[in-house]
Structures are given as C-alpha cells and as structure tokens.
Structure 1
C-alpha cells in the first residue's frame, strides 16, 4: 500500500497566502470598480493581472517569484479552487435562468448563437491561414492551427457574462436570458468543435466519430437531466428538508449535486460546467430551495469563490510577453478580428431575429467576452503543441481584454433598450413572487378526520396549491382514548369507538384513516407535488399532537371547523383549534362550513364562482387576498374585494352624520391596490366600498345579496379571556354567514 505524502508545511503555507492575497486584491478592486460605476468582475479580473508577471513580476520580481512563479503541482492547487469557483458561478447562473422564457425565445437564441459561431469561425480560420509560421506550434499542420484559431474565436465566456448580468441586475430581463441562452448554445457547439479539432491534432485526420459522440452525449445528458434528473433532484431536496430541515443541509445537497453532475459531464468530455449549470436550473425549479437559501448560496459564491476564479484567470496574462513588436502586431490583429467576427455575426443575426440595434449591440458585447473558456481552449492548444508560447499569450490577452470590454459595452447599451409591457409585467410578477405569501408556502399541514368541514377545507385549498409545488401533508390523528373534555367533538366529529380488541381497533383505525385520506385527496384533486399521509396515535391532547407536528417546519396549518356558538365570551372554536390558532408558530387557516353544506355534503364539490374578500389593507388582508386570487384564477371565479368604512352610530336624530369622505377615499385606495394584485395574478375582480354602523353585518349582507360561494378573510389573532380572538367583525361573519368562511390568521 502506497502512502500519499501530505502537503509540506511550505506548500500549504504558500497556497493559503496566495488565496488570501488573491481574494483581498480581487475584492478590493472589485469594490473600487463598483464605486466607479463598473461591475466588480472587471476589478476581479484586473486583480490577477496586477499580481501576475505583467505588474508584480516587473515591479518586485522577487516577491512575484516567491508567490506565483511556482511549480506546476503548486499552481494546480490554485486551479482546483478556481474550478470550484467556476462550478459555483455556473450553479448561480442556472438558479437565475428562466427555462420557460428561454424555451419561448428558443428560435431567437438559436439564430443569435449561429451568428455568433459561423462568422467568428470563418474569420478565425482566415486569420489562422495567413498568420506567420513562427506562431504555429506545428508548421506542417496549418489547417489544424487554422481550425483551432477558428474555434478559439467562436467561444464565449458564460461565467463572465453571467457575473456581469448579475451585477447589472439584468439577468432576469429578456435580454439577459437571451444572452445566456445563445451563449450556452454557442459553448455547446464550441465543445463539439474543440473535440473535433483536438482529435485532428492528435491523429492528423478529422475524427468525425468523436464529434458525433460529443453531440449525442450532450443530447443524452440533457434528456436524462430534465426527465429523470429533475425528479431525483426535487425528491432529494424535499427529503433533506423534511429529514434535516436546515439551510446548511440544502446548500450541501446543492453542492453535492453540482459536483456529481460536473464529474459526469467531465467524464463524458463535455466540461464540468455544463453539469453544474444544469443542476442550478433543476434546483431553481424546486420550491423547497426558497429565495432565502438561494441568496445564501449566491452570497458565498459571488463574494468568495467567483472573485478567486476571476483573479486566478487574470493571473495567467503576461503583458511583458506582448511587448515584442511582432507579437504585439499579431495580438492587435487577433483582438480586432475576434471582436469584428463576434460583433459582426451577432449584429447580422440580431436583425434576422427581429431585435433592435441596441439589443444587437448588447448581445454582441456580452458574447464577445471570452474569459476563462478561451483560456481553457488556449491551454489545450498549448498542451497539444498547436500553439506556440507567444500565440498562447496572445489568446489569453484577448480573452482578458474582451472580458474587460463586455461590462462597459453592456452598461452603456442596456439602458437604451426599451422594456416592453410584457417584459415589465413578467418582471413585476417575478418580483411579487419572491415576496409572495402563497408562493413561498413550501410545506402545509392539513389535520383530518374526514369531517365535512375538513373536506371543504381540502376542496378550497385544492385549487390554491394545484399550480404550485407546495408539499401538502395529510395528518390523521387516532384519539380513541382521548377525553371529550379536550374539545375533540367540535373538530373531529364523531369519536372512534374502542370495540374491545387491539386488532379490531387497529383495523378500524386503518380503515378510518384510509377513508379520510381518500375523501380528502378526491377534494384536493391533482397536485403538482406528491401528498404525504401521516397517521399518529395520540390518546392524549390532540392539540399537543398537532403542535408537535407543526414544529418540524410547516409554513401553514389548515383546519376545518364549525363554530361552537354565538356566545361572545365563549370560544369561537373548540379548545383544540383555539390552542392551535394561538400557539402555532406559523399562519393558520380555519375553514368553517355552513349548515347547508352540513346537511348536503354534495355541495362541497360544487364549483366556486364568486368569492367575497373583505379587506382593511393590513398584511393579513394582503395574505388572504393572495389566497383568494390564486383560488379564483384556478377556478375562473370572480372576486369581490370589499371594504366597509365603520360609521359611529348615534341615536340622536339632530346630530349631523360625520364626514367620512377621507375614510372612503382610503377605502378606495385599499381595494384598488388589492384589485391590481388580483389582476396581476389572473383573477377577475370587482370592488365595493360601503359605509355601515356594523361592518360585520354589512359584509354578511353583501355575501348574501351577491351570492358569494365562500368568504376569505385575513386577521391577526389576539388572546382575550384565555381564547383566540379574531376581532368582532370577523367573528360575526364566521357565526352568521350563510356560506363557508375561510379565516387566515397571520402570526
């Protein structure tokens, strides 16, 4: 058995100092460039140039040689960190990528990518054919050299482009997504070209089989990733969140997937960054990986690992080697032809794609960045003997220079691109979804015993969660030995009877649970995410059992419950529900059905055509509005947004009524704001603002008069007399409405 020697003390010390210095200078220059109105990526790339042979190697050669003029094995340690940063940056890019938008704009992206490949390839091949022979590694293989130059000129740097788009805050705009889509197609074609040219360099003949294998590998990998892989990623993240429930576990899972997929694509000869990008796309579509977790990953990637990657890429550039007049002349020619080919191809294809001049300039400026991808190509060319050291330095210089150009061009041109109504509405909707109450509900608990109220609760939330990827858990509690003093009667309906034997009781429990689950699943309908069925034997407090389950990380609890009566001093619901509403750490939605539904359970399945949404402009009302609008959009129902201005009653007929003009104006603004949200979510809206001495009575009258099928209300509970208190108007509506009422209690 061979024992691998660990890093020596000096090797470990050196790599730590290198990383500390690179990160410090990269972040320092990144912040400096940001203060000057330039993207930080420019400063991060420039940091490597300053610490490389071009500056530090000239100013203080001894310091440079002791730090960075090291052996290949020592420098490989930096490259490993660089690749981790590159992988993380591609994951961030995937998380920010809107696949639906790219599919919608697929034709445009393909046209742009072809323009960005064909013209640069032709100009690059011509350049290689006429370059002096001293720049060719193998003078007898000019065709191979020309093909390699064509490939190098065709490549784009997705990591650089992505970082710039993120920093300019345009990655989610149509133009940003178009650049990413076209860039990914460009790079895929570039990998095929590189495989072909590399095969030609090794054998002296074109390996068409290698090129075909590469294309098939890309197709197979993407096909498996977006079918089987999508399900594996989603199920794994849900399992990790259920079993561990920490952000750290989710972040670790993401990196494991990214590294594993990167290993697969690297093994297939497709580069690790393709696997990392695809994982980012897949994870970004899983709702459990919410906005907060995503931001944590992006913060670490963009503040530590991405700056190191760009600084190490800049470290490779040697400006001194370009001081030779002949090398400088060729370098200028290569740079000019590289820019002309990419810009010319993109500008021409952008017109064919129906894009504006400024859109063409922006896309051309972005895709003109070569970055680390061209550095990788240059490294492969040098290793295969295709390039001389001088040509290698020229290509690296072009990669850095074009990457430095891209941010300036895009910053100048993007503000000149007009945003259309469709794009503006899409961005507004995405901004809303990030802060949305309903959209950020990842786990919901529905305790059940199959009562009419619980069945209607399932009927109501079915369309609420149907278009979402919300995980819904159905909790059946066997309370056979529970005391009736716990208030179970009001919530669960009839109690299970213990018929004397444990086997019969277990059978009865199983049958009752199965029956309850079946009824609820029929009312819930088809959901985007699978539902879990949980059965708990809880002979003690049912409320304690529910609260214990809620503590594992649910975002909302939904319960079905009829009121106990109209006693203003007594509890509105049973003690079980009262405790759950008061003590649960997350919002609770209580759904109370009407007497007519109790008499005729068949009404549960009737369509919801009209929803009454009382609102007072609070956050609780806003959350209830999201619930109502989401249900309405799915059910094609009409939502009546109502605000009742409370008027102080007076029995003195000689007292003038108070002027409530200002209050009515405020009410108009409240309902208009909620109505705008409803239209944004695709619901049909009408608004009502009235004045009444008794707002609760007025709301019940509105529901009866206009034929509301359900009332959705939001409220904040307040403890009073040892019970949950929803407010007089809400409690009046719950007790007196002739239709079901859903009350969303915010924490």
Structure 2
C-alpha cells in the first residue's frame, strides 16, 4: 500500500499575498475601467492598463521593494493568481458563447470564413518574412531561424476573442451582424491559431527531422480529435446540454443550481479540449454557446452570471495579462525601433487581411475597416503565445517584450477604432428588424416564460386550455408540465373540510366499494384504476398540446388537503405561468376545478395565469373539433392587455389565424365633466391603442384587423362583435382584484365569460 505524504496547506503569508494581489488587481482594474467608460472608452481598456500600472513598468519603478514584496517574482505565487485569472478567461468565453447567434453565423458563414482566411494568411506571410528579417540578437537560438519565423508568423496571425468580445459587449454591438461575423471569424482564427501554435511548439521541441515528422503526426491527430469534438458538441452535446439544464431546473431549481451546472460543464468540456491539444477556452466557449440556446437557462440567471463575470473575474484576467510586461526594456533605441517595426507589420498584416476578406465577402468599406480594427486586437491570447514561446526557448526576452507590447497596443487601439468605424456602418432594414425583434422578445411577456404548469382533470375547459397553450408554446422553447389532480382524498379549500364534504367523501367511498362488489363477478369488465384515469387524461392533454419537440412533462398528484393547496404548492416551484380551465360544463363538474377552489387559486397564485372558459354549454363543438381561424382581442391599452395581445398573436401565428383587435369607446357623460366631452378625441385615442397593438401583431407575422366602436356597455359590444365575426376564441387581459373571499376579474370580463358563445381565454399578469 502506497503511503501518501501529507501536503502542507498554504502558509498564512502566502494567503495574505494572494489576497492583497487580488485586492489590488480588482480595485485597479475596476477603477480604471470606470474611468475609461467616463471618457467614452470601453471598460476593457482600463482593465488592460491595470496590469501595466501594477506591473514592473510603473509600480515596479516607483516602489521596487514594495512591488517585489506584493508581487514576488517566483513561480508559486504567480501561478496561484494565474489560476484565478484563468477562471476569468473561461467565464468570459462562456459569456461570449451566450451572446453568439448560431443561426446568424450560419447565415453569414461565407463572410466569416473569408475574413478569417484572409486574416490568417496575410499576417502569417508578413510575420514569417519579418521573422527572417529580424537580427539574430532577437533569436533565442541562432540555429532555429525557421521555427522562430514560424512562431512570429503565428503570433501575428492570432486574434484575441476575449478582448474583441468584451469590446463588442461594452459598446453594445455584439448582436449586430458585423459583431457576430467578427466573433465567428475570431473563433476560426483562434482555433487555427492554436493548432498552428501546437505544430510550431512541437517542431521547436522536436529538434531533429524525424521528431519533426512525429510532431506533425501528433498535430494531425489533434486536428482529427478537434473535428470529432465539434461534431459531437453540436449534435449529441446540444441535446445533452438541454436535458441536463432542464433536469437541474426541475429537480434542484434556482439560479445557483443552474450556474453551478454551467461551470461544471465548462470545466469538464474545457478539460477535454485541453487534453486533445486545444486550449480549454474553446471548450468553455462551446459550452456557453450550447447553454445559451437552452431557454430554461433564463435571462435572469444569464444576467446574474454575466454580472459576476464582467464585474469580478474578467477584470482580474485582463489586469493579470499586463502584469508581466516591462516597458522599461523598450528604452533601448534599437529595441524600440524593432518594436515599432513589429507593431507596424502586425497591424498592417491583420488589418489588411481582414479588410480584404471583408470586401471579398461583399461587406461595405466601413464594415471592412471595422472588421480590420476588431480583428487587430491581440490581447492576452498573444501574451499567452509569447509566454509559451519564451518557455520553450524560441523567443528571447527582448522579442517576448516586443510581442507583449504589440498585444497591448493593438488591444488598446482596437476599442476606439472599432467604436468609430462601427458608427459609420449603416444597419440594413433586415438587421434593424432583427435587432428590434430580439429586443422586443427579451422584454416581452412570453419571452420571460420558461416553465408552464397545467393542472387538469380533463374537463372541457382544460382540454381547450391545453390546445391554446400548445399554439402559444409550439414555436418557443417553453417547458410544459401537465399535472393530473387526483381528488380522491380532497377536502374543501378552507382546510379540513366541512361536515358535508366529509359525508360526501364517505358516501363516495361506499359507492365505489359497492360497484367493485357488483362487478367482481364480471370477468369481462375492467375497473379503471386511478393510474388508468390519470394516464388516459394526460394522453388526451398531450394530444391537445400537440407539441412539436416531444411530449410534455407529466405528473400525477393526489390531493390530501385541497385542490387549491396542491396547485398553489406546485406553482411555487419556479413556474412562470399557470394555465387553468374554469367553469367546465355541468357534465364534467365532477372532474373540474370549480368554485372556491378556483377563486383561491386565482387570488393567491404566485405567477401569471391563463384561465380558459370553454363555454361548452353554448357550443356544439368538442375540444377536438375547435379550429382557431379568427381571434377577437379586446384591448384597453393597459399592460395586461398587452400581455393578452402577445398570447393572441402567438396563437394566431401558429394557426395562421386572423386577429381582430377591438376597442370600445364609452361616450363621456356631460354631467361627469366640467367641459363639453369630445367623442372624436376618445375615438382617436382608441384608434391609437389598437394601432399600437396591431404593430406588435405584424412584427410577429400575424394578419391583423382593427375595430373601434362606441357603446355604453363595452362587454355587450365585445359579445356582439364576436358573434358578427364568428370568432373562434376571445382573448382578454385582466387584473385580478380580490373582493372579500373571491377573485374578481372585472364586471366586463366576467360578463363576457358568462355569455360568450365561444371559448374565452383571460390573461392575468398583474
């Protein structure tokens, strides 16, 4: 048995140094970042400068003894803080993945590929030539001129996705077409750059021709496994990521569980990419990209993760990038002149390459300039490349300082150049429409819904509610949970149940027992069990939902206190919408959620409600026969009317139905005002209200009609219009107002529910 030695923990002094380092890095980075934003520069400019200010260039010159004390030039303390900065890099790449639009990149694959190809080939050629032209003094070994030139070429070709992404995030341009193309091209650049770096590093370590061949073979194996990884990630991995997040959200719930799962996946997948020879940051980016497509990883959780990343870990990473830089070495005139030449060649090669690729892809001149400005940022990635070159003996310390200087200068100049050039690029009509639609979707009522609960006993209203819900969620990544309510042990909504309820329960039990005895001798008769009833009901509900991405999540819950307690308890489990059927037909009364139970659910529910009334008693159509081709949408211009409009338009878009928006103007009474009322002004206001809602409907691709009428009883006008137009469903917004012990939806809404000849859906979100 192997006896393991006990490893001593970090000393108190080592911990003190680490905490002081993190304190100074975060304080300086965030402080300079805020200053940069005050002078109209992205925060990343100040964060990059923080490392230089705290490094040997400034702090080391002003207080050398204190600098050595706080930042000892030893591998151990340096690597401790480097681990923290790597966390920041991984998290920043996850955020970049969140903000990457796969569909847009796929639609812009050609320009991204052209920009990336030209942005690598041109600087690689110019960098290789520069490597051969530089004096021997810059080489670590005179006999490695070829490998040295290859290394300089790779360093000139690389781009800094973290810097580019941070700049685009800071200037709110990452969702623009040009921003997504830049991110896509940068990721291609980085992937190819890391592969080229692995080949050059292997050649540098090989020494002999035979080993060089073996190194090239190893690089080929890395490329093969990278292709396999990407294929698996965007096929199996995509579905697996969605399943994992959904399971965590359903079983554990809360932001903490989802964020922990995200980091576990990023670290795990990053370990895989690191193992196959590609940097872990690529794995983190892929995880962020995949999780960003999962709607259950909601905007609130995403915002929490982004805030933590961009305010704490990313600033530490950017500050750490400049901590090794010693600008005092550039005081030598020869070294300074060489640095200017290298900077010029690097900028010319990358800028011209990206510009040529952009123009070849059909982008405008200003878009090409913007692409060149963005892709020219080298940042910490080139610093990492320089560090690797120094560690394997390819770069001298002088060349290392020059490459780091190039990385910092290009990263500092890229943000203002990118900001100015992007201001010159015009947005196309399609891009404006896409950005407005994205913004509207993020702020919308339905855009904030990820999980829906549908409690049911298969009453007619529940079945119609399921059908309407299916129309709403079919084009959206929304999870639906169908909960069968077993009322065999239910009591009333007030608690233990009244005497009448208890007697009813006893009589029901006796009746079921007598029926079992009566049918026991009939071998051909099948007594349906509770599980059979639940299964049959949930199958009917799923048929009504008709979800395109697979069956809904289903469950059966037995009522032990009251139906309302059961529904409300389940609804508190992070659901965003409760869909419920009300006032089912008398024939289904024993299976519906009625009376005090429904009132209590409406009053106490912790989330918005979509309540559906079938009005089956006044309609000959069964739920299965309901076809939605025309929707009537009464509105008064309030927020809850707007939310109801979103539901109506979602149904209309799925069913290719006509949505008629209706507003009823109530004539002002002369005795109620000090001035003579003007009906025309009220009508104009009504026209403005329906036009505003109609614009939303057209954005969602729905055929919209508008109608403004005048009447003293708006509820009667709504019912008349529904009859005249043969509306299949009425969708209304309402605010639940508790009155005494019942839920009150408003006189007009309740009048429509009670008298409509078609189903009525009421959205209550306030």
Calculate the TM-score normalised by the size of structure 1: 0.94
Q: 1:471·1:529 contact (CA, 8 Å) conserved in 2?
A: no
1:634 paired residue number: 654
Say whether 1:3 aligns with 2:17.
no
2:100 paired residue number: 97
| Residue of structure 2 aligned with 1:184, choices 179, 184, 187 | 187
**Residues of 1 paired with 2:491 and 2:190: CA distance?**
68
**Residues of 2 paired with 1:597 and 1:288: CA distance?**
39
**Residue deviations 1:578-636, cap 9 Å, x none?**
111111111111111133686442x5344311110000111111110000001111111
SS in 2 for 1:616: coil
**Residues of 1 paired with 2:299 and 2:200: CA distance?**
42
Q: 1:155·1:187 contact (CA, 8 Å) conserved in 2?
A: yes
Within 5 Å, give how 1:23-102 maps onto structure 2.
23-102=26-105
**Residues of 1 paired with 2:76 and 2:29: CA distance?**
23
Say whether 1:224 aligns with 2:232.
yes
| Residue of structure 2 aligned with 1:374, choices 349, 374, 382 | 382
2:371 paired residue number: 363
Within 5 Å, give how 1:704-719 maps onto structure 2.
704-719=723-738
SS in 2 for 1:5: coil
SS in 1 for 2:326: coil
**Residues of 2 paired with 1:142 and 1:381: CA distance?**
13
1:491 paired residue number: none
Q: 1:95·1:284 contact (CA, 8 Å) conserved in 2?
A: yes
Q: 2:492·2:597 contact (CA, 8 Å) conserved in 1?
A: no
**Residues of 2 paired with 1:540 and 1:347: CA distance?**
70
Which shifted more, 90-99 or 202-211?
202-211
| Residue of structure 1 aligned with 2:246, choices 226, 238, 242 | 238
SS in 1 for 2:529: helix
Q: How far off is 1:71 after superposition?
A: 0.7
Within 5 Å, give how 1:418-437 maps onto structure 2.
418-437=426-445
**Residues of 1 paired with 2:492 and 2:178: CA distance?**
64
1:523 paired residue number: 544
**Residues of 2 paired with 1:374 and 1:506: CA distance?**
74
Unmatched segments (≥5 aa) in structure 2: 502-507, 521-525, 587-592
Q: 1:195·1:210 contact (CA, 8 Å) conserved in 2?
A: no
**Residues of 1 paired with 2:570 and 2:560: CA distance?**
15
CA RMSD of superposed structures (Å): 2.3
**Residues of 2 paired with 1:508 and 1:78: CA distance?**
63
**Residue deviations 1:285-309, cap 9 Å, x none?**
1112111111111111111111111
SS in 2 for 1:439: helix
Q: 1:469·1:529 contact (CA, 8 Å) conserved in 2?
A: no
Say whether 1:498 aligns with 2:483.
no
**Residues of 2 paired with 1:309 and 1:633: CA distance?**
46
2:606 paired residue number: 585
Change (3 A) 1:532 1:564: closer
Q: How far off is 1:696 after superposition?
A: 0.5
Q: How far off is 1:694 after superposition?
A: 1.0
Q: 2:618·2:757 contact (CA, 8 Å) conserved in 1?
A: no
Unmatched segments (≥5 aa) in structure 1: 489-494, 566-571
Equivalent pairs, count: 730
**Residue deviations 1:169-225, cap 9 Å, x none?**
111111111110000011111111111111211214253323322222222112212
Q: 1:450·1:515 contact (CA, 8 Å) conserved in 2?
A: no
**Residues of 1 paired with 2:409 and 2:15: CA distance?**
32
SS in 2 for 1:315: coil
Q: How far off is 1:4 after superposition?
A: 1.1
SS in 1 for 2:701: coil
Q: 1:116·1:346 contact (CA, 8 Å) conserved in 2?
A: yes
SS in 2 for 1:445: strand
Say whether 1:594 aligns with 2:615.
yes
Which shifted more, 728-737 or 335-344?
728-737
Change (3 A) 1:482 1:84: closer
1:322 paired residue number: 330
Change (3 A) 1:459 1:380: same
Q: How far off is 1:231 after superposition?
A: 2.2
1:476 paired residue number: 484
**Residue deviations 1:486-514, cap 9 Å, x none?**
899xxxxxx99734679999952111111
Q: 2:619·2:758 contact (CA, 8 Å) conserved in 1?
A: no
Q: 1:563·1:735 contact (CA, 8 Å) conserved in 2?
A: no
Calculate the TM-score normalised by the size of structure 2: 0.92
Q: 2:462·2:580 contact (CA, 8 Å) conserved in 1?
A: yes
Q: 1:51·1:315 contact (CA, 8 Å) conserved in 2?
A: yes
SS in 2 for 1:336: helix
**Residues of 2 paired with 1:743 and 1:340: CA distance?**
62
2:122 paired residue number: 119
Which shifted more, 59-68 or 148-157?
59-68
1:248 paired residue number: 256
